[in-house]
A and B are shown apart, each in its own frame.
Chain A
Amino acid sequence: GIQVEQSPPDLILQEGANSTLRCNFSDSVNNLQWFHQNPWGQLINLFYIPSGTKQNGRLSATTVATERYSLLYISSSQTTDSGVYFCAVVETSGSRLTFGEGTQLTVNP
């Protein structure tokens, strides 16, 4: 099955800093989503982005499907951005989401 690798595994920032999270995948995909898992364990949808670029406030994401990677940008980070960020993909032959291991983000005041 498809492999999804996220980097870095851990990231510690000071409030106000910018960051880039990366997601590499090993095969062609029909769907790519970014999620934020908050401290209560909820998976919050950030982006549905199988290709192209989207922006939502301080967050933006870019997927280059032909090169099999996606980037999540967080600008002017806030303590509430802390949590685990997951990338998940659906490969062309299926309908299941395959998740990466996640990036644990800690934003300190």
Chain B
Amino acid sequence: EPEVTQTPSHQVTQMGQEVILRCVPISNHLYFYWYRQILGQKVEFLVSFYNNEISEKSEIFDDQFSVERPDGSNFTLKIRSTKLEDSAMYFCASSSHGLSEAFFGQGTRLTVV
């Protein structure tokens, strides 16, 4: 069964460093998303991406964050100058179109120390 895959599963980084979280969406999907979940809280939307551009972003997704689809299969989230409060589980998701069922990857647990 096709699935969304994320790497790495865990990442520890020092405050102020840049991290890149990677995702391979389901191959025939056209919409890609990043969400995050701070420990013990609900899942929050960060950004959606379609046709090689951002289609929607939340208030959380400021200049510290950027997304890219560098090739035909990968979708990345870059976080610059990481802060302690960026520690969270980051989920990538994809869907075939904007209103169809979204499928989530297993998540990357980011810890900023």
A→B interface (CB under 8 Å): 30-31, 33, 35, 40-43, 45, 48, 86, 88, 90, 94-102
A65, B99: Cα distance in complex, Å: 15
Chain B nearest CB: distance from A85 CB in Å?
A: 12
In Å, the complex CA distance between A99 and B58 comes to 14
Q: Which residues of B contact A (CB under 8 A)?
A: 31, 33, 35, 37, 42-45, 48, 55-56, 58, 89, 91, 93, 98-104, 106-107, 109
Of the candidates B31, B43, B91, B104, the one whose C-beta lies within 8 Å of that of A95 is B31
Q: Are B44 and A99 in contact (CB under 8 A)?
A: yes
Main secondary structure of the interface of A (DSSP, over half): strand
What is the bound-complex CA distance between A33 and B106, given in angstroms? 17
Contact yes or no, A42 B106, CB < 8 A: yes
Q: CA–CA, A88 to B43, complex, Å?
A: 9
Is A96 within 8 A of B58, CB to CB?
yes
Q: Are B99 and A31 in contact (CB under 8 A)?
A: yes
A43 in contact with B42 (CB, 8 Å): no
A10 to nearest B CB, angstroms? Answer: 13
Q: In the bound complex, do residue A97 and residue B109 qualify as a contact, i.e. CB atoms below 8 Å apart? A: no
